[in-house]
Structure 1
Amino acid sequence: MVGKGSLGERIFDKFNIVLLTFIMIITLYPVIYVLFASLSDSNALLAHTGLLFKPLGLNVDAYKAVINNPNIVTGYCVTLFVVIVGTFLNVFVTAISAFVLTRKQFPLNKVLLVFIVFTMYFGGGMIPRYLFINDTLGMGNSIWALMLPGLISTYNLIIMRTNFQSIPDSLEESAKIDGANDITIFFKIILPLSKAIIAVMVLMYGVGHWNAWFDAMLFIRSRDLYPLQIILREILISNSTDSMIASGAGGDIEAIGESIKYATIVVSTVPILCVYPFVQKYFTKGVMIGAVKG
């Protein structure tokens, strides 16, 4: 039978509960503030100062303006394509590379690993990278410039390689006795036993693609290829809400523009927030692989 613990332990537990609750509130409140602000009346929001605990008069004109903006729709389509296709390519190529680096019979795996780890600490810089991708590879103003140059993350590759190494060699040996080659072992043994780490890779690469904007700013010149984050950046930093206001609602232009900024943040954030709960149970397990040796 488990006891209640000493007085010090009970005080420590209550202190932890209070502290973690406080951290949760200050972490969650900015999200709640943005949501309430996006649903508030524009003029009331502009006149309001201080904290916000409820919408200031329910108003969805800002969301109508965001949805009716063709740039948002186009940006969503581009971002979804980059996230889906890019994440698939990232995970697939990373898995293949990690599998190759675990092959004991492959003579160059250690040499390749040294070169791969070297890229974590040393890079060519932004200008050589721009010249290489834009001129040498000819990917300037191409959506592939947002996916192919960063196809493999060295950190993710090392995590996946560590996961593959934790799979017992006896499984591969028994498969080879039955006539399986490396391709069969990879697709029918390694990948099915690595669902947790694959889910973590999907989350890491997917969130990275969803939030990425710098490469698009460097390489993309056509507005119809702008991802969602570039559109969001224009709205928040350049304050370019005039076209959205014209197609949205009447009223004070400055006030409506403020509401549109918050509504755009919500629209661009909700999809990734909806995906995270489905893979969070794998996250801790995946990132801890290889952290503890015993």
Structure 2
Amino acid sequence: MSSDNIPWNPKMRQKRTPSDVVVDGIIWLILIAVVLVVMYPLWFVVIASFSDPTAVSTGNVTLWPVGFSLDSYRMILADGRIWRGYLNTIMYSVIGTAVNLLVTIPAAYACSRREFKPRRLIMLFFTFTMFFGGGLIPSYLLIKQLNLLDSMWVFILPGAFGAYNFIIARSFFESSIPEDLRDAARVDGVSYYGFFLRIVLPLSGAILAVIGLYCFVSHWNDYFTGLIYIRSQDKQPLQVVLQNILLANQTDQGSVGMSAAQSQNLGDQIKFGIIIISTLPLLILYPCIQKYFNKGVMIGAVKG
């Protein structure tokens, strides 16, 4: 029997040489070092937010909390604006992400179809917006003329369409949706709308998760919009509320119910607590869709 006729056995592996072991060991050490460099700052923020402020300021906090304390969280959460800011940000993020997907996904699918003749011209217009913008003052005047000042829609409508997300989704549809599916659907009498709704969308869970995460994170971290366009305190997003609390604490204004001495002692710890409070929902959300995120990024990057 020739070697070509021998069935392949996945359990059969090439014998490893000492040099292979050394190279693998070096790669593992490098990967571990990179993970530690990336994770330690995050871990330090967590333990510092639960540690005694004096221990943090003197450098005694390294790997574990020292002098466990929840004073910073009590001071932050005692301000009622936190809960209103959380509610506003969740509303802006959820509605904004839904609008982003509703606008971006159909447009990306339409421009992925070869029979759609103007798609290259439309792509040129969309790509142009990635490199050129009007600037702050023209944008402010435009928002004012559209009557979006001090409105929740200023967080949603101006950024409803993202050219970057559009390009990722278009690449996904071009490389991952076989043309044979459209031919089969056409034979069965399925229209473009039916094909998109009943076949394309169920097969696009990965890219929907990727773009949804991108949009949600963008809305959640949107600080500039609330700072420039929102005047009512009850409409401010969480990021602006936390920034106001932090500034008030630094200037000893007592906006979170602290005396000047307490503000001085807990200043750094409050900063760490604010970081945890503002990023906690994203830290919970990301592991839930991580598998879709990895798959969608890889598939969308196959073809540009």
* Pairwise same-fold verdict (TM > 0.5): yes
Partner of residue 34, structure 1: 45
1:163 corresponds to which of 172, 179, 184: 172
Aligned-pair identity (%): 38
Matching residue's letter, 2:41: P
Matching residue's letter, 1:19: I
Is the CA contact (8 Å cut-off) linking 1:199 and 1:279 kept in structure 2? yes
Give CA deviations for 1:238-257 in whole Å, capped at 9, x if unaligned: 636722133xx997331123
How far off is 1:26 after superposition? 1.7
Is it true that 1:244 corresponds to 2:241 in the alignment? Answer: no
Q: Distance in 2 between matches of 1:219 and 1:109?
A: 34
How far off is 1:7 after superposition? 2.8
Is it true that 1:146 corresponds to 2:158 in the alignment? Answer: no
Give CA deviations for 1:191-244 in whole Å, capped at 9, x if unaligned: 101111111111111111111111211111111111111122334456367221
1:233 corresponds to which of 234, 243, 246: 243
TM-score (norm 2): 0.88
2:201 corresponds to which of 191, 194, 198: 191
Q: Distance in 2 between matches of 1:235 and 1:243?
A: 7
Matching residue's letter, 2:269: S
Aligned to 1:252, the other structure's residue is in SS state helix
Aligned to 2:64, the other structure's residue is in SS state coil
Aligned to 1:49, the other structure's residue is in SS state coil
Unaligned runs of 5+ in 2: 1-11
Is the CA contact (8 Å cut-off) linking 1:245 and 1:256 kept in structure 2? no
1:16 corresponds to which of 20, 27, 35: 27
Aligned to 2:113, the other structure's residue is in SS state coil
How far off is 1:260 after superposition? 2.1
How far off is 1:114 after superposition? 1.2
Q: Distance in 1 between matches of 2:268 and 2:238?
A: 18
Q: Distance in 2 between matches of 1:104 and 1:29?
A: 48
Q: Distance in 2 between matches of 1:176 and 1:56?
A: 67
Q: Decide which moves more: 208-217 or 99-108.
A: 99-108
Partner of residue 123, structure 2: 113
Is it true that 1:81 corresponds to 2:81 in the alignment? Answer: no
Partner of residue 278, structure 2: 268
After superposition, residues 46-61 of structure 1 pair within 5 angstroms as 46=57, 48-49=58-59, 51-61=61-71
Q: Distance in 2 between matches of 1:78 and 1:169?
A: 43
Unaligned runs of 5+ in 1: none
Q: Decide which moves more: 146-155 or 7-16.
A: 7-16
Aligned to 1:282, the other structure's residue is in SS state helix
How far off is 1:111 after superposition? 1.6
Is the CA contact (8 Å cut-off) linking 1:43 and 1:252 kept in structure 2? no
TM-score (norm 1): 0.90
Give CA deviations for 1:19-53 in whole Å, capped at 9, x if unaligned: 1111111211111111111111234434x226522
Is it true that 1:66 corresponds to 2:87 in the alignment? Answer: no
Q: Distance in 2 between matches of 1:58 and 1:51?
A: 11
Q: How many residue pairs get matched?
A: 289
Is it true that 1:137 corresponds to 2:149 in the alignment? Answer: no
Q: Distance in 2 between matches of 1:177 and 1:37?
A: 63
Matching residue's letter, 2:152: I
Q: Distance in 2 between matches of 1:34 and 1:274?
A: 17
Matching residue's letter, 1:227: P
Aligned to 1:243, the other structure's residue is in SS state coil
Partner of residue 215, structure 2: 205
Report the aligned-residue RMSD: 2.1
Is it true that 1:98 corresponds to 2:126 in the alignment? Answer: no
Give CA deviations for 1:131-183 in whole Å, capped at 9, x if unaligned: 112x2211111111111111111111011011112311221222223222222
Q: Distance in 2 between matches of 1:205 and 1:237?
A: 28
Q: Decide which moves more: 191-200 or 118-127.
A: 118-127
Partner of residue 186, structure 2: 176
